[in-house]
A and B are shown apart, each in its own frame.
Chain A
């Protein structure tokens, strides 16, 4: 071997109580190369990255940095060794500003005091790399999930690194924002840095990565191969461990004469929406697409009473409804809401899988004296663990110990278990692997066929085109139009982009948008 690898891991193993997360894993990163790390949910990708950055210590195996053996005992040591990272889970401090969060790992100082001017300029420099026009003084809790993810990436770019590890950095942003990240990644590659890229979005991986390592059940089953030598299907089959049949998009017939179960009529909200009108019929999947900051999540939250409707009307099954809380939405109107922010709002990290799933059904399970049968709730949760293939050591396990994708499944399972009639799903497949995505799509179609009305918010255009029956496009807190889904990706993406631009033009003259439903 002429030039040593920028970073090499040999025979890494790591066990957690109840599970062997890594088993003799090898990873070799060459300088000037973007290396894809692939694998299903729970395969061990994040664990590997945490070992490379000193968050976890390996049970076995060794690390070589530029050919020299190193031991990385803490995140601080990793930083000093020139290994930068963007972790899968958000690790921002909510009360701090964007700038402080970006430079947190190494605060610029003047003597003993923090150099605030440098904090701002450094933060601005990192944000500029991502073309992000965000004031470093903005408090973190004003940002959306996607913006937070972008700030996390900016943080990874703050210190000079020779190796940059990106654990699902694009999970909750749209392809527009992701493209900015890839421009940065391309530049790093040209500078001879090694980049690791974890993603469940195959398109991105194939468009931007040079080499690939695949993990399956904690083992590296494909090691540092050239990505160009393999097809998508091959990689998927290696990840899954068997050949995966192509996704069948069913022919869906929706009863267009049925009365809508959920309607928004010229709704303006305290969160800033203007004249939003939408309708969802039973059995229909209405997609809500838009760029980051378009106000989709906020719209969902306003419907659920987490914001106020100041004008217009929300109608559920034809009747005007005022919803003040998720409780009311669930009990009075049978509406469920899967949040996009799983770590902070979707799951209870310190509670068991069973309880996390059963939380929405206790009111149905409860009998005399509020008694809830432990067996009953376990059986119910078990059903969804199987259905969504949630990978756990046992139902007693705390959700905080699951891999990111499996936590997402838990957050979803709880609302599927609630058996609602209207389901608002916000970014349901963030961080979910290819195979589970398919079973999830099948499940959503089945539920829709059974009459569930679904409002689907997703930043993944491919997912929109696959799942939705109609797509409503939002821009700057208003709906700019609705298109029937032809399931033709290119045509759809064009008409959607056009609607986004119309929205930008229409800002000058705000008013009720026309629907062509």
Chain B
């Protein structure tokens, strides 16, 4: 368009909505508001909530572990896949770590590496099967999950007497159970409300944030999630990318399994039993799309924080575990419908005049406000 053209047709080309306004329209902002409100309410009704070492630190420990669980799902969601085997993969990875401490006496770092490699191996296997056969990730990872659920306890019963590896290498308790109070510079020590275990989680978040926002591979993953065919025809090696995300998901699942074991002090086959629901709730509440193409890493942290906070709150009021599970189900449902809603909204945004099916009563088909462009970048 030439300048002269612009003059005779003064079209209101408004600017991109400001960063602040865009942020206010994201699910992340909504989550932050909810979290703050909950903290205030719970704290007001039960002042014991603010007990550093006994309430806050354990809460932060679970948040750290489950955020890694959520990220493990998030990486496969970026290409529009799922991993239903996160729990069993976590158990599998943790088993290898525990085994290397107990049977081979390996030091902490080596055991961790072995565990993560084991996770990578099973993840890569799922990814390879999916890429090779084109079978839906749902089915492949479901099968993988069954296989591992069978395998892990069998191995434990072969190799141990009490179905647990309990040998702890030096440093395991520091990662799993110590707080910053043990870290002192001169006379100044850290607070006992923050456990050391937040560190690996923060590092993981930073690495994934870098991957998705700054690198070629991260961008290619999101493009693959948006439209696999177009990605393939744009020269993105989609099969390799699919194997990559499943491998990464396996690594993160194993990491979560290891962190959980470190926090409880023993490596058991039961690790990861609670992972599956949470792995979906966190990312979806945070704005990551099940269909792929958009991820939010901070959103995952916030989503996990919200659910665990609710859980802790109800716990303080003495509500039983069944009620907790019902609530978790409800939250998942809300999260999933939020995902649906967002998807429909972005679909409608497309210039495509989606010929609405006859039963579509349709609201205003175009989104107003800055939420409309939310998908074009990831939050780190």
Contacts and interface: CB of A to CB of B under 8 A. Distances in A.
Contact of A348 (B2, B15, B226): B226
Interface in B336-380: 346, 349-358, 360-362, 364-370, 372-373, 375-377
A91 B354 contact: yes
A352 B376 contact: yes
B214 interface: yes
Contacts of B1: 389, 391
B370 to A, nearest CB: 7
A371 B9 CA distance: 41
A370 B13 contact: no
B232 A325 contact: yes
B32 interface: no
Interface stretch (A51-59, A184-192, A475-483): A51-59
A488 interface: no
A141 to B, nearest CB: 12
B205 interface: no
B236 interface: yes
Contact of B235 (A46, A53, A360, A394): A360
Main secondary structure of the interface of B (DSSP, over half): loop
Given A216-B9, A366-B215, A349 B366 contact: no
Interface stretch (A224-232, A401-409, A505-513): A401-409
B352 A74 contact: no
Contacts of A91: 352-355
A452 B347 CA distance: 37
Contact of B351 (A18, A325, A403): A403
Interface residues of A, number: 76
B177 interface: no
Contacts of B349: 398, 400-401
Nearest to A363: B216
Given A348-B227, A366-B215, A401-B351, A242 B9 contact: no
Interface string B98-123: 00000000000000000000000000
A327 B294 CA distance: 23
B161 interface: no
Given A50-B353, A76-B360, A337 B293 contact: no
Given A105-B358, A241-B5, A347-B230, A400 B376 contact: no
Interface string B213-248: 011111110110011011111111100000000000
Given A23-B11, A55-B365, A75-B360, A87 B215 contact: no
B359 to A, nearest CB: 8
Contacts of B14: 17-19, 393
A350 interface: yes
Nearest to B368: A17
B355 A350 contact: no
A241 B9 CA distance: 9
A512 B193 CA distance: 80
B235 A348 contact: no
Contacts of B369: 17
Contacts of B5: 217, 241-242
Interface stretch (A124-132, A142-150, A338-346, A443-451): A338-346
A466 interface: no
Nearest to B352: A89
- Which of B219, B354, B357, B370 has most A Cβ within 10 Å? B219
Interface in A95-118: 104-106
B234 A326 contact: yes
Contact of A359 (B211, B234, B352, B376): B234
B4 interface: yes
B223 A348 contact: yes
A19 B13 CA distance: 5
Interface string A376-418: 0000000000000101011011101111100100000010001
- Which of A218, A241, A331, A337 has most B Cβ within 10 Å? A241
A57 B14 CA distance: 21
Contacts of A365: 216
Given A17-B369, A400-B349, A339 B216 contact: no
A42 to B, nearest CB: 9
B376 A17 contact: no
B18 to A, nearest CB: 12
Contacts of B190: none
Interface in B159-177: none
B22 to A, nearest CB: 10
Contacts of A16: 366
Given A372-B214, A398-B375, A327 B226 contact: no
Contacts of A498: none
A219 interface: yes
A216 B350 CA distance: 22
Contacts of B187: none
B9 A219 contact: yes
B279 to A, nearest CB: 23
B322 interface: no
A120 to B, nearest CB: 20
A362 interface: yes
17 contacts: A17-B369, A18-B14, A53-B353, A75-B362, A241-B5, A350-B226, A359-B219, A359-B234, A369-B215, A372-B219, A374-B214, A394-B16, A396-B16, A396-B373, A398-B376, A401-B349, A401-B350
Closest 5 CB pairs of A and B: A400-B350, A217-B9, A370-B215, A352-B376, A362-B216
Given A241-B9, A330-B235, 5 more contacts: A55-B353, A75-B355, A87-B353, A360-B235, A393-B16
Interface of B: 1-2, 4-5, 8-9, 11-17, 210-211, 214-220, 222-223, 226-227, 229-237, 293-294, 346, 349-358, 360-362, 364-370, 372-373, 375-377
